[in-house]
Homo-oligomer: A and B are copies of this chain.
Amino acid sequence: MKLQPLLIAFFASAFVFSQEHSHKSSRILVFPDVPGYRTLKTDLHQHTVFSDGNVWPTIRVMEALRDNLDVISLTEHIEYQPHKEDIPHPDRNRSYELALQEAKDHDLLIIHGSEITRKPPMGHSNAVFIQDANTLLNDKAEDSFAESKKQGAFVFWNHPAWHPQSPNGNPILSDFQKERIQKGELHGIEIINMGDYAEESLALALEHNLTIMGNSDIHGLIDWDYTEKGHDRPITLVFAKEKTQESVKEALFAGRTVAVYNSLLVGKKENLTPLLKACIQIEKAQYINKTSILEVTLKNVSSSDLIFENQMPYTFYSSSPVFTISAGETKTINIKTLERKDGLTLTLKALGAYVAPKVQPIVEWEIKVEE
């Protein structure tokens, strides 16, 4: 019966229509691997009822699976325990244990972590890859950091620009942080948290060689804070050799990350540029008959909408120099090469991306022209 191809056309048409339309309808996060590394999607800053969050740890695992994450950490506030009256537990490792249990039949890595939660100038910091959260509970913040280092943890400074602790909205690198960095007790910094991005924090990251991080800091529901608004949760992409705890840890210490929030991607040039390059696949490159206009079909294989600006000496026949390829969308651009070529270097500046404050990366793809 000839119904099958018709059904496929029926279903495909609905889908093609939505691709053309580029309407975000899926919460699944997707990013391609880069040469030499797996691209792991991580959210290493989350809360549950075991500190000041509102859900049982199992919900965080389920959210992560729905969003297609690879790695999470439930980083409860060690010191701040607003549910203490009902959850009087002395064991700060519980949310980690419960998450591990929920995730056991899945491919999701659960990293043991905690949030050292202090007033300014110490601020809030997450220690991940810890062994025991209970020993991180100390009177003096310095001792918590020292203990974290002893446990081999990777420690990052959370939302340093958070206005309740810095009223002008800029990070304040105090002596406390400087000492921690010196002592090898502070290794990273969130430049994206809860959808807030601070370029001054990015500047600190580059200046002090701190690993660039982006996390949700979710307390309520991902659905309410992000999904229903058509947003993705903020994440840190980690470029690791394999999808294992050790490999993720190695990558974090090596600084191989990109922070992502919707169409904003931030990272060091050596990490961000290969990622952007891999996000766009060249599907076709063919000259329009009888012209010197090269029709190039691009596909954005990531879940972030990407905004680009043409940087080539050639102009476009059809599109504006500034164009967006939506998540999952296939788009055709027409390059006026003036004479027929065998190949060329597609050169675009990624406008939603930063390798330094106000500095956007330029990405190149080698195109071979088909006959």
Interface residue ranges, A against B (CB under 8 Å): 1-3, 6-7, 9-11, 13-15, 17-18, 20-28, 30, 32-33, 49-50, 53-56, 58-59, 62, 68, 83, 86-89, 94, 161, 163, 167-170, 195-200, 220-221, 223-224, 228-230, 263-264, 288, 290-293, 301, 303, 307, 309, 315-322, 324, 328, 334, 336, 338-339, 351-352, 354, 357-358
Is A9's CB under 8 angstroms from B21's CB? no
**Chain B residues near A163 (CB-CB < 8 A):** 288, 290-291, 293, 317
Nearest B residue to A22 via CB reads B230
Is A10's CB under 8 angstroms from B33's CB? no
Copies in the complex: 4
Is A30's CB under 8 angstroms from B15's CB? no
**Chain B residues near A6 (CB-CB < 8 A):** 28, 30, 68
CB-defined A-B contacts under 8 Å, sample of 26:
A6-B28, A7-B30, A9-B68, A11-B26, A13-B26, A14-B18, A14-B28, A14-B328, A15-B15, A17-B25, A18-B18, A18-B25, A54-B58, A62-B220, A163-B290, A163-B291, A167-B290, A167-B291, A167-B293, A168-B293, A169-B334, A199-B321, A221-B221, A223-B223, A223-B228, A322-B352
How far is the CB of A259 from the nearest CB of chain B, in Å? 11
A86: contacting residue among B25, B87, B223, B230, CB under 8 A: B87
Nearest B residue to A350 via CB reads B322
**Chain B residues near A328 (CB-CB < 8 A):** 7, 10-11, 14
A10: contacting residue among B17, B28, B87, B336, CB under 8 A: B28
**Chain B residues near A357 (CB-CB < 8 A):** 315
A94: contacting residue among B14, B86, B324, CB under 8 A: B86
**With A15-B11, A228-B17, A322-B352 as given contacts, are A315 and B54 in contact (CB-CB < 8 Å)?**
no
**Chain B residues near A87 (CB-CB < 8 A):** 86-87
How far is the CB of A179 from the nearest CB of chain B, in Å? 26
How far is the CB of A306 from the nearest CB of chain B, in Å? 12
How far is the CB of A189 from the nearest CB of chain B, in Å? 16
Nearest B residue to A294 via CB reads B169
A55: contacting residue among B59, B86, B292, CB under 8 A: B59
